[in-house]
Chains A and B, each alone.
Chain A
């Protein structure tokens, strides 16, 4: 053993002479790394093994077979088909889609609101700046669960009974304590298809015009009013498609039944409360991120832009914002991830998100470990995905800046 070790030490060219191998830092670090790895593996193995043995001993079934068993419970928001004999797996999938819905809605609203408030805090207008400051300081200092309860019980809970719904647009839009009811859009003939085709053509046209305009500006310095053109195209082309397709659109409002309103598009109160609470709460953090990003751009940049003759708007759009984005995007990603994870508080107000439907599955099937593993895998997956997208965007911003 000792002989073999000496031989191997001999191969390490830079080992100092006269040092015993176990005092050699190189060997030491290798040994300790190996031991650490061994310890981690041993711990992981013992946890898994123990769990399996104890589950076996308590006669608890293991594995993911239960996912194909009939669920037998109902879910109050099913964006994907959830038939009466749907499986536990399907129920969890409905939960995933509901989580994605609230996360996407929340991220969009929070971003818009956050940017407005963040810029508002830097405004020279004292009133705007004071309101923005008050917003940030109030909302980010109250736990988000309380805010969810506030919107659900204190705001939406006070809406009238379905029999005396509020009607912001009489006969078309109804608001009551069971939700908000919008009319259903039903396209007749080919008008729906026409609208869609028009929209796609408009988007492709805008992309092409944008490329052409950039090249022309690089070569000749001439500018093209892209914003106005894009707006025009995106309104006109779908409308044209809709008109050519037969000009046929029926709005079907919700109707009163014995207990509720039926038909139309129904937004359940828990979705509204959760979206409002999460987006207003996260917006307060995003506002600070945006403010920090803008302040991080040296004032000299603004002065330089002015001296080149750029207008206020151009300075902001072409000089300040692109540089600020570099500072904003990484913390903004964190906020998006936080919002997504906070959406698991949905369970408190009965919004059927992943945790909520998964919890029912857990309880009805008794497969706690499996369901929790599914939860963790899905949240990890969505978070990693969000990070990847945002990192890709961040890289693009960084390149544009240089």
Chain B
């Protein structure tokens, strides 16, 4: 009797310590057969579920790219919609394997909360106002009521910017994006502020999108990128090089339509290394050599992902700008695969 009780006691204690031990995330993901990816609860162009319940957007496409690299199948992703506030805890606790949720790369986040694997989208914070206010510059916003989402870099930039420009403002902040937009739309605040890409996405949700305009000022640098837990280099490599493969493929002119042909015919050594005909770059990071081929085949290269989700032919109508390749005056750049 007593022995049983003792055994149970130690059993509980052991079980508790066992759950604490972590295998590598890559092994875990392979073992369970899918990638658990944290995304935005609903931001057009970045991650939003459509009428069929499928996630669409730049961030969710990145999840699919990682799944394609690991499994050769982009559908092996389970999504966890997260608010800005929940996201880091979800990543740290192991609830998700990868956070791909328009998250700004900052020093404190990169050193204390996880690791950023790259910049999927170079953004900056902007302001949206009603056209009827007759305002042309953010400098005229003295005394305005500003709506924003809590748990973001946005609220910090906002405080900094108004302080630096010696302007007053009143803050209205919510945890959920839905309430932010609703309050702005019903006139509960004069200004809506978030990343510029987000403003274009939110504008589509307003009752009369044409009555609103985005002010020219961009008040911050917001490099948005995927994030993993720190201390797991193997997994960090997989995510980081998935992003680089997307960029590299665009640079080499490999896209989802011509990738089969490129694999069969291309003599370009760079293409051969990317697509796994030469070297063992995929195997070296714990994947197959067809990892990059699978990524491009499944979601396309970086340019295709961009144009499909947020580009000029989408409702968001965002041009490449800073997100063009370095060869075309932008910042998207990938180290060579060799």
Contact = CB atoms under 8 A, between A and B. Distances in A.
Given A50-B16, A362-B85, A258 B182 contact: no
Given A50-B20, A157-B188, A350-B179, A178 B145 contact: yes
Interface in B228-261: 229-231
Contacts of A397: none
B321 to A, nearest CB: 28
Contacts of A57: 22, 231
Nearest to A52: B20
A42 B159 CA distance: 47
Nearest to A54: B20
B304 interface: no
B150 A356 contact: yes
A61 B112 contact: yes
Contact of A359 (B2, B85, B143, B188): B85
A350 B159 contact: no
Interface stretch (A67-75, A126-134, A201-209, A242-250): A67-75
A39 B171 contact: no
A43 B13 contact: yes
A378 interface: no
B187 A350 contact: no
A359 B156 CA distance: 14
B159 A53 contact: no
B158 A74 contact: yes
B155 A58 contact: no
Interface stretch (B4-12, B60-68, B71-79, B268-276): B4-12
B231 A359 contact: no
A349 B176 CA distance: 9
Contacts, number: 139
A348 B175 contact: yes
Contacts of A42: 9-10, 12-13
Nearest to B160: A72
A363 B88 contact: yes
B231 to A, nearest CB: 6
Contacts of B12: 39, 42-43, 46
B17 A46 contact: yes
Nearest to A76: B171
A177 interface: yes
B131 interface: no
A388 interface: no
Nearest to A361: B151
B170 interface: yes
Interface string A26-57: 00000110010011001101110110011001
B314 interface: no
A84 to B, nearest CB: 6
Contact of B92 (A58, A269, A364): A58
Contacts of B170: 76, 178, 260
Interface string B147-187: 00011100110111001000001111111100100110011
Contacts of A50: 16-17, 19-20
Contacts of A43: 9, 12-13, 16
Contacts of B140: 258
B156 A260 contact: no
A153 B182 contact: yes
B16 A74 contact: no
A262 interface: yes
Nearest to A77: B171
B89 interface: yes
A349 B174 contact: yes
Contacts of B20: 50, 53-54
A266 B140 CA distance: 23
B144 interface: yes
Contacts of A84: 159, 163
A236 B230 CA distance: 69
A183 interface: no
Contacts of A220: none
Nearest to A61: B112
B109 interface: yes
B113 interface: yes
A279 to B, nearest CB: 22
| Residue in A42, A45, A46, A49 with the greatest tally of chain B CB atoms within 10 Å | A46
Contacts of B313: none
A46 B16 contact: yes
A88 B84 CA distance: 18
B142 interface: yes
Residue from B10, B173, B174 with most neighbouring chain A CB atoms (10 Å): B173
Contacts of B13: 42-43, 45-46
Nearest to A45: B13
Contacts of B150: 350, 356, 359-360, 363
Given A46-B17, A84-B163, A350 B84 contact: no
B5 A349 contact: no
Nearest to A160: B187
Contacts of B172: 76, 270, 350
Contacts of A39: 5, 8-9, 12
Nearest to B151: A363
B97 interface: no
A262 B145 CA distance: 11
Given A260-B170, A366-B112, A153 B186 contact: yes
13 contacts: A38-B9, A39-B9, A43-B12, A58-B231, A74-B159, A76-B170, A158-B186, A177-B188, A178-B170, A347-B175, A350-B183, A366-B112, A368-B89
Interface of B: 2, 5-6, 8-10, 12-13, 16-17, 19-20, 22, 84-85, 88-89, 92, 108-109, 112-113, 140-145, 150-152, 155-156, 158-160, 163, 169-176, 179, 182-183, 186-190, 229-231
